[in-house]
Amino acid sequence: MHLDILGIGGTFMGGVALLAREAGHTVSGVDAAIYPPMSSLLAEQGIAIRQGYAPRPPSLIPDCVVVGNALSRGNPALEQVLDQRLRYTSGPQWLAEEVMRERWVLAVTGTHGKTTTSSLLTWILEYAGLSPGFLIGGVPSNFGCSARLGRGDLFVIEGDEYDTAFFDKRSKFIHFRPHTLVINNLEFDHADIFPDLAAIQRQFHHLIRTVPSTGLIVANGDDQTVTDTLALGCWTPVIRFGTGAGNDWRLEAIDGASASAALTGKGQNRAITLPLPGEHNARNVLAALLAARHAGVALEQGIEALRHFRGVRRRLELRGIVKGIQLYDDFAHHPTAIAATIAALRGRHQGRILAVLEPRSNTMRLGVHRDTLAASLHQADQVFVYRPCTLEWSLEDALAPLPGERALITEDMDCLIDRITAAAQTGDAVLVMSNGAFENIHERLLIALHNQQRRNR
């Protein structure tokens, strides 16, 4: 079967493309812009990609068009599908029907930590010899790809609450029907499609309705919004995790410097070595261990697997070191994630932290987070912010609470790179945060730092 995927450059739709190709289908696709790591992963599989949404050539008549949720009515490629009465479906629906229908689905959901927790869970299952399939909105370094079919009964999916397609406004995860469901946390996000937090909770409630009574929900017991959502109705056993005394499994003595924590629950007390820094990642680790335990992986084996976990691209990923300056890349774009990422780096880095931010998400663009942005950057020693042309509010006003002359704001990328390069000193960590390609700033910064080093010799 020939599948043509509209919006193939997104992490989810790109993952669908990889799974379809592995299943033996002919796959092509189109997107407005495609950037690493997804562009590289698709190219490695020989998937033909068209740039721009011009109508497809007359010779290209696929058996089915898989439509990504980024496409709306009026898009030329989509209008052609409707005009020609081609068969079409959404990515989540295709995945549910063709890949996950008869498998044990482990879905990881929540506002933050989905990619990291999914990657941890997949690796623990792999380490236990279960060969899970997966589709993750990032690239776990242990696998080098974002999706695969796997050989076992298990399938791990990152459950995004964003809508499904132009014709299906339910959250993607409604299609997945998990047997094991992780709910990491819940905050307001995606202001372009949700009017308020209650609307997001309603979608999570619909998801909870699909989990069988023989399944399990692994829920953050420290998050009141998660607790409130479960109270809307739940027909499945729940295990609660967190740091609070009321949880079934608790994290204690979290130590960022030694990357360790104590895990207690069910009459057990175990020391664990954390593969990633930060309290938020300790929670991600515990959620993954408990979900894997439900799928049959003993806690001891899960803890052992953590020692061999190699991280996730774009999650505090070290991109390079020049003259003692470390350059990190992270996907953080929500104030909670920004603050947690800086705190995690602060826990293991003794020098200054230079935070570099591109506030480009739809929710950030609409100004929903402007009142909490400054506080999220407070632990950084210096802040450099790139102003997107689509931003609808004043960055200067939002960042005014930062003390002194700590923040530089510019819409000129060359200026931004020059100022970061001039400010960075040996022993600093430069932390770049964006949910987009950020105009390849990481490589450009490394080149600029190398050039400065040569000039100073």
Cα–Cα dist 330/337, whole Å = 10
According to DSSP, the β-strands at 147-148 and 133-135 are antiparallel
Superfamily of domain 100-306: Mur-like, catalytic domain (3.40.1190.10)
Cα–Cα dist 327/318, whole Å = 6
Burial class (CB in 10 A: 0-12, 13-18, 19+), 182: buried
Superfamily of domain 317-455: Mur ligase, C-terminal domain (3.90.190.20)
Residues 331 and 435 sit within 8 Å (Cβ to Cβ)? yes
Residues 6+ apart with CB under 8 A from 40: none
Residues of the chain with CATH 3.90.190.20: 317-455
Cis peptide upstream of residue 37 (ω within 30 degrees of 0): yes
Q: How far apart are the first and last CA of the chain?
A: 59
| pLDDT of the residue at 227 | 98
Sign of CA dihedral 221, 227, 229, 231: positive
Extract the tokens encoding 369.
Answer: 């987070």
The 3-state DSSP class for residue 74 equals: coil
CB crowding 121-147: b at 16 or more within 10 Å, else e: bbbbbbbbebebbbbbbbbbebbebbb
**Residue 55 half-sphere exposure toward CB, CA atoms < 13 A:** 10
Q: Which residues pair with 407 in a beta bridge?
A: 383
| pLDDT of the residue at 457 | 64
| pLDDT of the residue at 121 | 98
Residues of the chain with CATH 3.40.1190.10: 100-306
Residues 124 and 302 sit within 8 Å (Cβ to Cβ)? yes
Confirm whether pTM is higher than 0.85.
yes
| pLDDT of the residue at 454 | 74
Give the mean pLDDT per block of 10 residues along the chain (457 residues).
Answer: 95 95 96 82 90 88 96 96 96 98 97 96 98 95 95 96 96 98 95 94 98 98 98 98 94 82 90 90 95 97 96 92 95 92 90 95 88 94 93 91 87 95 96 91 94 76
| pLDDT of the residue at 419 | 96
The 3-state DSSP class for residue 418 equals: helix
Is 2-90 CATH 3.40.50.720? yes
According to DSSP, the β-strands at 382-386 and 216-220 are unpaired
Cα–Cα dist 5/45, whole Å = 15
Extract the tokens encoding 124.
Answer: 């623990």
| pLDDT of the residue at 100 | 97
Question: Roughly what angle, to the nearest 10 degrees, separates helices 279-294 and 335-348?
Answer: 100
SS (H, E, C) 126-181: HHCCCCCEEECCCCECCCCCCEECCCCCEEEEECCCCEEECCEEEEHHHHCCCCEE
Describe the strand order of the beta sheet including 104-109 as a list of residue ranges. Answer: 147-148, 133-135, 154-158, 104-109, 180-183, 216-220, 238-242, 249-255, 260-265, 268-273
DSSP-derived secondary structure for 306-349: HTT---BTTSSEEEEEETTEEEEEE---SHHHHHHHHHHHHHH-
Which residue carries 């941890």 as its tokens?
Answer: 120
* CA-closest candidate to residue 435, choices 6, 10, 8, 72: 10
Residues of the chain with CATH 3.40.50.720: 2-90
